[in-house]
Each structure stands twice: as C-alpha cells, then as structure tokens.
Structure 1
C-alpha cells in the first residue's frame, strides 16, 4: 500500500505544520479523522452487506486459498515433475544411451584426446 517509514512521516508532518500553519492544522486534522471514520464505516457496511447477500454458505470459505498471488508457476511445474514416480521408457533409454556413449567414448579415447561427452546444456540461458 503506502510505504512510509518514520523519517518520511516526520518530514511530512513538519512540512504540513509549516505549509498549513498552526491555526488551520487542527481543522484539517479533524477533517482527516472524520474522513477515516466514514471510510471505515463504509467498508464495514459493505462487508456486512456482502455477507448478508451471499448467505450463510459462504461464511466458512477460506478466501486466502483463492488468492492468485500465491501461485508460483515454477513451484507448480517442479511439484508436477517430482510427482512422476516411475521414469518413462523414452526418458530412461535416452539417459542410458547417453551414459553408455560417455563410458564408451572415455574408454576408447586416445591418450591426448578428450572423451566424446556432450556439452553441458543450460536450460535457463536465453
């Protein structure tokens, strides 16, 4: 909402006292207080009106579970991938073929040559 720390609030108060003046400041403070009270009353009235119109079946709904800000696509994908208990045949045969090629390449490599290992893949690169 509004991020005002203590120092910033103090500067605003000092500026208000200097710009508005000590004779008009109590009037504006009273008007601000009445505005805040009316806003609070309006919000309570709106909440009670929504509760009465929705009925008793919506009183026990946990609205925080329906907040879209709680969904992290990376977490959802990670959990979906971790749920896979048994590897798929295509995935296991590809992984086995890569491992077999790496060991065969390392065993058959000449003394001054590097083994034929696939280059590392960075999935987060653009």
Structure 2
C-alpha cells in the first residue's frame, strides 16, 4: 500500500505527528490507530469467510485477488495449454527487427542483413520503388503534383 514512501517521508510524518499530537498523547494515538487497523482487517477477513461460506463448497478455493482482471487472465492463461504456444509465438516474433525492416524500406536503404552479406555491384536485382527518380524514363509521363498547380 505504501511502497513508495521513503525514509525521509516517514521521518517527516513522525515529526509532524509529534508536533500535532505532542509527545504525551502520541503513544495513545498510535495505539488507537493500530487498534482501528486491526479491527478493519478482522472485519474484512470475516466478510471474506462469510462470502466463501455462502458461495458453497465448490468455491472453497476462491481467492478475492482473482477478481482483479489482470490476475484472473494471467491465472487462466497459465492453466491453458495454448499459453505455451503463445509464448513460443511471442518469442519467435522480433519486433525490433520488423521495425528496422520497415524503417529501411521507408528510408530506401537496404536491410542490415543484405548490407552485411554484400550485394553484387552495389545494387539489388529488384527495383526499389520507394526511391525517388530524378528524371522519368523515356516515354513516361512525370508524376502529377496537385500542390504544384
């Protein structure tokens, strides 16, 4: 619950408590707060036990943490055999490699694997459709540019 409170914050809270309640009343306040927290915990545990008993014997292993959607889905996936196939598929898919290939295609550069292997004559056999041509080939009309007109 308070995982992100550091030592400096705790020290500030202690100093604030001493200033607000005073050193005489502080032990009594701490006892009252701890008693209140204990009662809340007991109340929640008894409520959980009542709900489990009302649900019946088929829900005796029911955990209230399973009501959290992330926990429920994780538990269901771990019990399912298809989860193993999903893990294998996920491990075989390299998102970084796919993004690099798309970026290389957009930028008009050759993928790293092709560059590392070396190409004959410095050009590939397939035409690069993403590269801009400075001059149209013979008999070909220049592309239409709506912004230029």
TM-score, normalised by the number of residues in structure 1: 0.52
Alpha-carbon shift at residue 26 of structure 1 (Å): 1.7
Counterpart position of 2:26:
25
The whole-number CA distance in structure 1 between the counterparts of 2:59 and 2:13 is 43
Give the drift of 1:61. Answer: 4.3
Structure 1: runs of 5+ lacking an equivalent: 84-105, 109-114, 120-126
Q: Counterpart in 1 of 2:129?
A: 117
The structural deviation recorded for 1:29 is 1.1
Q: 1:107 to 1:26 in 2, by over 3 A?
A: closer
Structure 1's consecutive aligned runs of 4 or more residues displaced over 4 angstroms after TM superposition are: 61-66
The aligned residue for residue 12 of structure 1 is 13
Q: Which residue of 2 aligns with 1:41?
A: 42
Once residues 23 and 45 of structure 1 are traced to their aligned partners in structure 2, the CA distance between those partners, rounded to angstroms, is: 35
- Deviations, residues 82-126 of structure 1 (Å, cap 9, x unaligned): 49xxxxxxxxxxxxxxxxxxxxxx548xxxxxx33347xxxxxxx
Aligned length: 87
Which blocks of at least 5 consecutive residues in structure 2 are unaligned? Answer: 75-82, 91-123, 132-149
Write the deviation string for residues 43-97 of structure 1: whole angstroms up to 9, x where unpaired.
111111011011110123466666422569xxx9xx4xx49xxxxxxxxxxxxxx
- In the aligned structure 2, how far is the partner of 1:30 from the partner of 1:62? 31
